[in-house]
Amino acid sequence: MEKKKMATKKSNSKTSNNDTGTTRLNKFLANNSEFARRKIDEMIQQGRVTVNHKLIIEPGVQIDNLKDEVRLDGERIREKIKKTYILLHKPIGFITTTDDEKNRKTVMDIIKTSEKLFPIGRLDIDTSGVLLLTNDGDFANKLMHPKFKVEKTYIVSLSRPLDEKIRLKLAGGIKLDGKKTAPAKIEFVNKDVFDTVAITLTEGRNRQVRRMFENYGFFVRKLHRSLYGHLTVDGLNAGEYRKLSILEINKFINK
C-alpha cells in the first residue's frame, strides 16, 4: 500500500510544465480528445485549431492549458480532470481547509500534489483521524448529503465518566441551535472504562460531537474519527495518506 509521510512545508522543487498549467498544443489536444498525436498534428497544420480565437498551425506551440481557450473545428476542447481520491490520517494541529488567511498549517500542507484537491467535510484543528480529499465534486456532495446517511464514528475521551442516563439522551437526539440532532449510536469502548466512548453519527454539523457532550457539562479531552463509512486509518500513522482503491470508491458510489 502506497502511503506518504507528513510534510509541514511547501516543496520548493521545480515543477514540470504540466504542473504550472503550460503544455504543448498537440499534447493538450491528444490528452483531451479521441485523436492520436499524429492525427492532431495534421489537424493543426490543416488550420482546424484556434487558441483564444487565433488560428494556430504550429503543433508545438506552448499554451496555458488552465486559461487558454482551445477549439478544434470550432468546438471548445476542455482539459479532462483526472479524478483523485485521497484518505489522510489527519494529525492534530492542522486545519481542514485549502488555505488560511492566518497562515496556519492546513491539511493541504501535508498532501504533496499539483492537483487542486479539497477536503470532504471538516475535522477541527484538535481532531485527528479519517479525512477524505478529492477533486470530484459529485462524489463529495454525495458523501456529505444527509439523505445518503454515511456513518462517521468518533472515539471520544471525556473529562469524566458518562452515566447511562445522559448516554441515552445523547443517543436519542438533543437540540443544538434549536434543531434536534439525529439519533446516534454511543457505546463504551471498554466495558470497564466509562470516560471513553465511540459515537456514530450520520450528520456532520459544526463541532457536533464536542457540542453534544458540552451540552451536559463534559469537556472532550481527545477526539479521533476512527471510521468514515467503511474507511479507517489502519496502517497509516498521523500525517500519512494513500489513494483510495476503485473498490473503496465504488462502495460509496453504489451505496
User: Can you give the pLDDT at residue 10?
Assistant: 38
Q: Round to whole Å and give the CA distance between 56 and 50.
A: 5
CB 197 within 8 A of CB 187: yes
What count of Cα atoms within 13 Å lies in the side-chain half-sphere of residue 210?
14
Q: Round to whole Å and give the CA distance between 4 and 107.
A: 13
User: Can you give the pLDDT at residue 75?
Assistant: 93
Q: Round to whole Å and give the CA distance between 10 and 233.
A: 24
Nearest by Cα to 210 from 146, 108, 88, 122:
122
The domains located in the chain, with CATH, are: 22-77 (3.10.290.10), 83-148+236-255 (3.30.70.580), 151-228 (3.30.70.1560)
CB 72 within 8 A of CB 62: no
Q: Which residues of the chain have pLDDT under 70?
A: 1-21
Indicate the pairing of strand 85-90 with strand 127-134.
Answer: antiparallel
User: Can you give the pLDDT at residue 191?
Assistant: 86
CB 218 within 8 A of CB 163: no
Name the pTM for this structure.
0.73
| 68 among known catalytic residues | no
Q: Round to whole Å and give the CA distance between 192 and 210.
A: 23
User: Can you give the pLDDT at residue 113?
Assistant: 85
In sequence order, what are the residues at sequence separation of 6 or more whose Cβ sits closer than 8 angstroms to the Cβ of residue 164? none
Question: Which secondary-structure segment (H or E) carries 189?
Answer: strand 185-190
CB 140 within 8 A of CB 134: yes
74 by Cβ neighbours in 10 Å (0-12 / 13-18 / 19+) ranks as exposed
Nearest by Cα to 182 from 166, 195, 200, 207:
200
pLDDT tens for 16-43 read: 344 446 889 998 898 888 888 889 999 9
Question: Which cell numbers hold the place of 82?
Answer: 483526472
Check 109, 124, 126, 195 and give the catalytic one.
124
